[in-house]
Structure 1
Amino acid sequence: MDDPGTSTDCIPCQQNEMQSFEQVTAPIVADLKSNLMDPSTFIPPSPLPGPSIAIEFCDRCRWLHRATWLSTELFLTFPPPTLKGITLMPMSADETAGRFRVWLFLHGEQPHLIWDRKVEGGFPELKVLKQRVRDHVQPGKSLGHSDKK
């Protein structure tokens, strides 16, 4: 029987790998700090295949529940194959404090920033978020009561 204090499934990160990552990203982070409110300077996360969404959120602000709720609602409205995946990306660095961004990835296109909490001045209403996603992935789709004024 394995010792409960150890794990055989995980391989710890090598210290030199983390240093090289920090060395590579340090200039990017420095540039981002000077443009915190300019969406054109935001660097999107790595894309998933096909139409997919990534939700970046500040883990220190405890926004996991909000991110999971939005991902569930988006999957219910745009089930596979319309959306192939939704990734939740908790962030806990100083430069990502207070972040809540929703990115849309479409095949062969630049990522679309669907929502940024700081730029928009708050969290998205579900209706607005669904409409923005729909306008890119299924422009003719009716959202039922979400489309009514």
Structure 2
Amino acid sequence: MKVTIHYCTQCQWLLRAGWYAQELLSTFGESLEQVALAPGHGGHFEVVITLDAQDTSEVLWERKRDGGFPDIKELKRRVRDRLDPERDLGHIDR
């Protein structure tokens, strides 16, 4: 599975996107094939997970749709639910 974080360069959201990527890699490590940062514009912020080799993807978080930026706990839960639903995220699940 791959995660792509689309972020707005005009809004200077690179540090935020990079932090999300770092947190996902710290938690899921090699269970994720890749976490990519994809620059864009127009206030766009979206986290997309690609589920398989056929590039089936799902939007996990979209800033306008979901009301701002995700809490890291919620983002990790959403990734875990697609990657390995049985996985315990420790204090995040409590």
Corresponding residue of 2:37:
88
Give ranges in structure 2 of 5+ residues lacking alignment: none
**Structure 2 residue corresponding to 1:139, chosen from 78, 85, 94:** 85
1:113 is aligned to 2:47: no
Q: CA deviation at 1:134?
A: 0.2
Percent of counterpart pairs with the same letter?
A: 41
Q: Deviations over 1:106-129 (max 9, x none)?
A: 114620100000001110000000
SS, match of residue 55 in structure 1 = strand
64-73 vs 106-115, greater mean Cα deviation: 106-115
Q: Distance in 1 between matches of 2:63 and 2:40?
A: 14
Q: Distance in 2 between matches of 1:106 and 1:86?
A: 13
Q: Distance in 2 between matches of 1:126 and 1:75?
A: 12
Q: Deviations over 1:31-72 (max 9, x none)?
A: xxxxxxxxxxxxxxxxxxxx0100000000000000000000
Q: Distance in 1 between matches of 2:45 and 2:93?
A: 24
Please report the TM-score for the alignment, with normalisation by the length of structure 1: 0.61
Please report the TM-score for the alignment, with normalisation by the length of structure 2: 0.95
Give ranges in structure 1 of 5+ residues lacking alignment: 1-50
Q: What is the one-letter code of the residue matched to 2:32?
A: L
Alignment size in residue pairs: 93
Runs of 4+ in 1 over 4 A off after TM superposition: none
